[in-house]
Structure formats: structure tokens, C-alpha cells
Structure 1
């Protein structure tokens, strides 16, 4: 469970959007948070992959084992 405080203007705008779309404010907030997390999680994973590849090239490939283990965990990179 998460409680979020919004300033008056933003809450009024959110209420208007929710009413227009026939959705609840919670549905819209949940969707917005999900999109934000997905965007930033993907950016984090891309940076981790970039750093692993760079280190592997520098160190002769020892980091490939780590990268492959992470990839096999969730299959998110390919």
C-alpha cells in the first residue's frame, strides 16, 4: 500500500482526467508509477549491461559469467 500526497492543482487535474476517462485516480496513478518504474528499470539494466560489456572487454571476459547469470534470471536483455 502506498499513500501519495499531491498538491491541490495536481489532484484537481488528476480528478478531471479520471472523470473524463471513466477511471479511478488510483488506476491512473498506478499506471503512471508502473510506466515510470519500467522506464527507469530498463535504463538501469541497459547501463549495467554497458558496464559489464566494457569490463569484459577490458578484463578478458570474466564479467560475462555475471552478465549471463543476470540475463538467465529474467530474460530481460536480448
Structure 2
């Protein structure tokens, strides 16, 4: 259960939308919160994936640099 306080202007606007759509204010608020959470959850997962790819690329380059250094040492 969640209680949310809205300023009077937003409360009135929400009530008007609810009446127009024949839905309850709770239904509209529930849908809005669900969409918000999904969008931010997806953004979080996308950022985590991006950071993982960046780290993997960094590791790959670091290993290449180590290989290059070992090869250079073997030439001396």
C-alpha cells in the first residue's frame, strides 16, 4: 500500500483525466508508477551492460598491452 500526497492542482488534473477515461485515480497512478519503474529499471540495466562492455574492452586492451610489452622484451 502506498499513499501519495499531491498538490491540489495535480490532484484536480488527475481527477479530470480519470473522469475523462472512466478510470480511477488509483488506476492511473498505478500505471504511471509502473511505467516509471520499468523505464528506470531498463535504463539501469542498459547502463550496467554498457559499463560491463567498457570494462571488458579495457581488460582486452590491457592484455594486448601486456602482450606487446612481453614481445618487445623478447626482442632485446
TM-score (norm 1): 0.74
Higher share in helix: 2
Larger Rg over CA atoms = 2
Q: Which has the higher contact order (CA 8 A, sep 6+)?
A: 1
Residue 6 of structure 2: SS of its match in structure 1?
coil
Deviations 1:6-64, CA, capped at 9 Å, x for gaps: 0000000100100110000000000000111111111111100000011011124xxxx
Root-mean-square deviation (CA, aligned residues, Å) is 0.7
Structure 1 unmatched ranges of 5 or more: 61-78
Deviation >2 Å, runs of 4+: none
Structure 2 unmatched ranges of 5 or more: 61-76
